[in-house]
Amino acid sequence: MLPDIRDFDRLTRDFRWRIPHRYNIGVDVCDRWAAADPARVAVIEAGLDGSAATFSYGEMKDQSDRLANGLRARGIKEGDRVAILLPQGRAVPVAHAATYKLGAIAVPLAALFGVDAIAFRLRDAGAKALITDAAGLAKASASGADAGLDVVISTDGADGTAEDFRQVLATARPDFAPVASGPDDPALMIYTSGTTGNPKGALHGHRVLLGHLPGVQMPHEFLPQPGDRMWTPADWAWAGGLLNILLPALHFGIAVVARASAKFDPDEAFDLMARFGVRNCFVPPTALRMLRSVSNPRGRHDLRLRTIGSGGESLGVETLAWAREALDLTVNEFYGQTECNLVLASCAAIGVLRPGSIGKPVPGHDVNVIRPDGAVCEPGEEGQIAVRRPDPVMFLGYWNNPAATDAKFIGDWLKTGDQGIRDMDGYIRFVGRDDDVITSSGYRIGPGEIEDCLITHPAVALAAVVGKPDALRTEIVKAFVVLKPGHEPSDALVADIQAFVRRHLAAHEYPREIAFRDSLPMTTTGKIIRRELRVQD
């Protein structure tokens, strides 16, 4: 944990990791608090109908112990993979805590994944058990992937080969002795997005939660503080939802608001934050841009926000400025990836903030920008963002893929695949993914700055920028634009948007082609899927 020292240089200088020889995530986020205060609220479920229900640490311990016993009685043992395919709700931390205490490996799957995506992950992981609901069960069954599972449990009741979640708990013993796991024992496997080739399972040890704590505390300005309460629209199956919000909040004894909603609605999001007294939230940049469509949010909602963290893609100066004006808050950016998350961050409370930059290395992490040979770049020189091992937040390796694991490193540097620039003061600016950076007429252009400029145009709601192959220039900048209500596509509007970017950025950065779309392809975490746009005409 970060000590409450409001001086970044001293924090960095004095920080030391203290990783115990025995550590189990399930014991940490559940049993520890249940023993101290069983009535303490762990999860607040916000129903789509306006209802609310609380779930205590004592209840979570009872149910996770019963589930662990139930899984063990059905043949699930240490090292087996347990897939968890559920929307936000109390069953998610129960399933995770049970899996960790059993010594098995949790494999979270996003509820919005399609049939093929779920089938690939279940088969690649060699999952022995699946804990899901009726919707997830239908997807697993449609692909036939459920046939390879030894245990299937549904929170919506028995269905075919699936057992009823409540019945499993009711018939299992209430006490469970957690395995004496070590920090490097496998606990969690989260699949990458599959930007190049098939998704890969990033395997993490139990220490991954401890490794996340400073990176959570920094953008949330020395969490926990009295009254803190956390929420994110991100699926708890994604590293951003699970490791940036759910598990750290439970570690700190902070209540988490759960909302099982398949679609992000800006008005609904503000209403939820106000009704449930959310103080700390993680909102991906695309969702933050969508929140901008709500006028006068503080006037319309009784918001009690203390901190907003954002990461996953470049936030942009314009969105940062909007949050300060509309919410009276500075959004603290952070950075990481599935393999090594939350290693860079901003923290306005201690002056670690520079618009246009992600922030600085979180205390305890050695992060820099390197050249292809592994040498550290000079300040101002573009290179690849990298993290030096060993690091407690770093993955153990890719599941059954040692070649890909080896290729992820150059020496002791884990290569992120993201281009960045470090300035003289240690701030790192995100340029873009290796495959997102556009090369045009000899210029290397990051899409983020152009997208940030585009959304300041009065007609533009959302925008994504990619490089389109061009015989003369290597690539040209092409923009995909979603218009605000009241605006219609036209040649005149194309010309106006192009002139706007030329005026605000540079002649070589304006989009030579603009395509209007009703929506943009996004991941379940709210990132724009540029590779899908690159194949569109």
Q: What are residue 165's phi and psi, to 5 degrees?
A: -55, -45
Q: Which domains does the chain have, with CATH numbers?
A: 24-205 (3.40.50.12780), 436-534 (3.30.300.30)
Element (H, E) at 397: strand 397-398
Q: Alpha helices, DSSP H only, in 49-164?
A: 57-73, 91-102, 115-125, 134-143
C-alpha closest to that of 213 among 424, 27, 3: 3
If we measure between CA atoms, which residue out of 129, 158, 24 comes closest to residue 67? 129
pLDDT of residue 124: 95
Report the alpha-carbon distance of residue 286 to residue 314 in Å, rounded: 9
Nearest to 248 by CA among 341, 112, 311, 175: 341
The pLDDT > 90 percentage for the chain reads 76
Q: What is the pLDDT of residue 526?
A: 67
Task: Report the pLDDT value the prediction gives residue 74, as an integer from 0 to 100.
Answer: 98
Q: Give me the pLDDT at residue 343, please.
A: 98
**Contacts of 237 by beta carbon, 8 Å cutoff, 6+ apart:** 84, 85, 86, 108, 109, 110, 111, 190, 524
Question: Cα separation of 216 and 2, whole Å?
Answer: 10
Segment (H or E) for 361:
strand 360-361
For residue range 109-131, what is the model confidence (pLDDT) as tens digits? 988 788 888 998 999 999 999 99
Q: What pLDDT, on the 0 to 100 scale, is given for residue 49?
A: 82
- The larger pLDDT score, comparing residue 38 to residue 534, is at 38
Secondary structure E strands in 127-180: 129-132, 151-154, 163-164
pLDDT tens sequence across 463-496 = 999 989 887 777 899 999 999 999 999 999 999 9
Bridge partners of 370, per DSSP, are: 376, 384
**Phi-psi domain of 43 (left: phi exceeds 0; alpha: psi -120 through 50; beta: other):** beta
Q: Which amino acid is at 514?
A: I
Average pLDDT over residues 88-102: 98
Residue 391 has pLDDT above 80, yes or no: yes
pTM attached to this predicted model: 0.86
If pLDDT is split at 50, 70 and 90, which confidence band does 442 have?
low
- For residue 516, the tally of other CB atoms under 10 A from its CB is 17
Q: What is the pLDDT of residue 1?
A: 82
Structure tokens at 491: 């040649």
Query: Which residue carries 């209840």 as its tokens?
Result: 59
DSSP characters over 278-331? --EEE--HHHHHHHTTSSSHHHHS-----EEEE-SS---HHHHHHHHHHHS-PE
DSSP state string for 480-532: EEEEPTT----HHHHHHHHHHHHHHS-GGGS-SEEEE-S---B-TTS-B-HHH
Query: Is it the case that residue 195 has pLDDT exceeding 60?
Result: no
* 143 burial level (CB within 10 Å; 0-12, 13-18, 19+): middle
Confidence of residue 536 (pLDDT cuts 50, 70, 90): confident
